Amino acid sequence: MSVEVTVNGLPLPHVVYHSPSGFEWGYGGSGPADLALSILAHYLGETVACRRYLWKGFMWTGEMAEPTALRLHQKFKWEVISRLPREGWTLRGEQVAEWLRSRGVTPPERAVVYEGRRAG
């Protein structure tokens, strides 16, 4: 069974780091880690920066500051993504912003809705 994750009805861009096979949720594995990273990167406008950081290997060379989404995605995975219902979910931008504020990040205000569902 495959999963579909959208943002405002369009496919959520996948920032591939832990799971080249795609997104998951409801537990603490590699698919949920990529979902957490991809949601945070999208919400913060860091999708390109995260991909560039990972692709170029800047994490090892210190040539570029680590994007906020990369720095926080594992906590977001455990505190939010791992707790999402397996059958499907909706996560509003306000919820992402609230979580970011609780971590000391001043988030943008974005009118977005992330949704995940099982297909097939």
What is the pLDDT at residue 12? Answer: 98
Q: What total number of domains does the chain contain?
A: 1
**On the CB side of 73, how many CA atoms lie within 13 Å of its CA?**
28
Q: Which residue has the tokens 């913060």?
A: 44
What is the arithmetic mean of pLDDT over 103-117?
Answer: 96
User: Which residues span the domain enclosing 8?
Assistant: 2-119
Q: For 3-55, what is the HEC assignment?
A: EEEEECCEECCCCCCCCCCCCCCCCCCHHHHHHHHHHHHHHHCCHHHHHHHHH
| 37-96 per-position pLDDT tens digit | 999 999 999 999 999 888 866 555 566 788 999 999 999 999 999 999 999 999 999 999
Q: Which residue has the tokens 């993504």?
A: 81
| 8-29 per-position pLDDT tens digit | 999 999 999 999 889 999 999 9
What is the pLDDT at residue 70? Answer: 96
